[in-house]
Structure 1
């Protein structure tokens, strides 16, 4: 009887020890495919490059925070441009747009410090009103940023969807892409590469079940969906810092829950092994 009890306890211990790894394997299978190559570095064999990430809102940088941290550690100079102050992001219940813009500016500054950004630029374009500017005006804003900062590498949203369909996201990605493709190789235009953050189809399928933002905005037609990634960047060593970046955006916690659902309920050592990479498409 005693021997049977010991064996039973041993089996229970093995099951308990194995369960988290089963969850990790299931989670990875739900979100990732092995056919997408993984790069250790976004910028291989090119030390000391200048990187400029351009996004419309405070908190958009969370989508590439791990990659930016890795680039910083590898010795590259990181600039981050935020085109608006996010005054329309009222998920926290704050209705005063002046106060919300002030809070989100402060949150963006804290996030940039956590990432290790060398230069943060926050512009005053209208949140959820970028479409009203017109593409020519938006391209001018983007070109002025690039001309002033002279980056070697650009990072932004894709030009088809803007990750989950927000017009500001899509138009920002489209403007950056248009400027890059029009000016690439011309005298005085420094950037040689543009990388757009994107997702695997598996990730989109999961997001459509869990994320209200995706459910409201993502295109129903699969052909209009996100571009397929060319590669991913492993970011697991930076996961605890990525969570800090997310937490810095205190007014946007409901929105960020869509980006990483249940991140505050699953142990970080498990979660970080499922959400362990960021996907990119290179514009050529």
Structure 2
């Protein structure tokens, strides 16, 4: 028996396992405790609208929506993409419905717009989203007029989360509507909460994502805007993890962003990723 060979093989396996381990204490140190805690009043008359382009985008704000729901707020969600007529989207829509149920969303609306392929995104060749901004804006505006939310939740307008142009465009159009309609007495718009991250956490989570660096160059941006507020999501972390687990078809990309806790690591994961951060538009 070649003991040297088996010893070498075992060593390689152990090294591989160690490389796959997540340093949760280090991640926890990336949290920025200097950012002020979110203070927001909400009750049964508060209406909240989530506006995102894709199924699974809503995972970013589960803590905030759960917090608002605990105060009695009603939550609607508008997902702009995923046509039900396209077979490839059947699974994504099923997963989105699972997610909405876990979140306690009162009404989910799916606009069914075109979702571009990753190769096209990385070449900034996103058909429809650049050419049809007026149509996309009309869809968002119509939902706001019908639902009359006080609070909107989106991606940021600077880079769009990790650099996805459909994230950025949907957020930009939402903010445009907000500023145009904020003085409309028939509406009740008060604030937009845009997903963000503190610098150290942003660098850790996004620096190895190709779309992130590409989008920064494309938009001449330094990355996500500085967060204005932070929310401790310890009470809502399990809901957030359950929502992420709905999106089974996206596990590969979600794991890259550490958005799903591995079995046996629930406590460590929840302590490391204990906050959500937002830029506030008023």
Deviations along 1:215-251, one digit per CA (max 9) or x if unpaired, are 5545488844211010111112222221111110111
1:59 aligns with 2:56: yes
Cα drift, residue 130 of structure 1: 4.5
State the alpha-carbon separation in 2 of the partners of residues 220 and 133 from structure 1: 17
Number of residue-to-residue matches in the alignment: 250
Which of 12, 35, 41 is matched with 1:44 structurally? 41
Question: Aligned ranges for residues 1-284 of structure 1 at < 5 Å?
Answer: 25-29=25-29, 31-39=30-38, 41=39, 43-44=40-41, 47-85=44-82, 98-128=86-116, 129-214=127-212, 217-219=215-217, 223-260=221-258, 263-264=261-262, 267-284=265-282
Task: Provide TM-score, normalisation by structure 2.
Answer: 0.81
| Alpha carbons of structure 1 residues 257 and 79: separation in structure 2 relative to 1, 3 Å | same
1:197 deviation in Å?
0.8
189-198 or 165-174: which moved more?
Answer: 189-198
Q: Aligned partners of 2:182, 2:83: CA distance in 1, in Å?
A: 30
Cα distance in 2 for partners of 1:63, 1:262 equals 12
1:44-89 per-position Cα deviation (integer Å, ceiling 9, x unaligned): 26553000010000000000012111211221000011001179xx
Contact 2:159 2:221 in 1 (8 A): no
Classify the secondary structure of the residue corresponding to 2:115: coil
In 2, Cα distance between equivalents of 1:262 and 1:211: 17
Residues in 2 aligned to 1:57 and 1:182: alpha-carbon distance in whole angstroms:
25
Q: State whether residues 233 and 278 of structure 1, in contact with CA within 8 Å, keep that contact through their aligned partners in structure 2.
A: yes
- In the alignment, structure 2 segments of 5+ residues that lack a partner are 1-22, 117-126
Q: Return the TM-score normalized by structure 1.
A: 0.80
CA distance in 2, matches of 1:264, 1:46: 35
Q: Note the aligned Cα RMSD (angstroms).
A: 2.4
Alpha-carbon contact 2:102-2:239 (below 8 Å) kept: yes
The change in CA–CA distance for 1:169 and 1:256 in structure 2 (over 3 A counts) is same
Deviations 1:104-157, CA, capped at 9 Å, x for gaps: 111000000001111111111111345244322222111111011111111111
| Structure 1 gap segments, 5+ residues each | 1-22, 88-96
SS in 1 for 2:129: helix
Which deviates the most, 135-144 or 54-63?
135-144
Change (3 A) 1:126 1:262: closer
Q: 1:251 to 1:262 in 2, by over 3 A?
A: closer
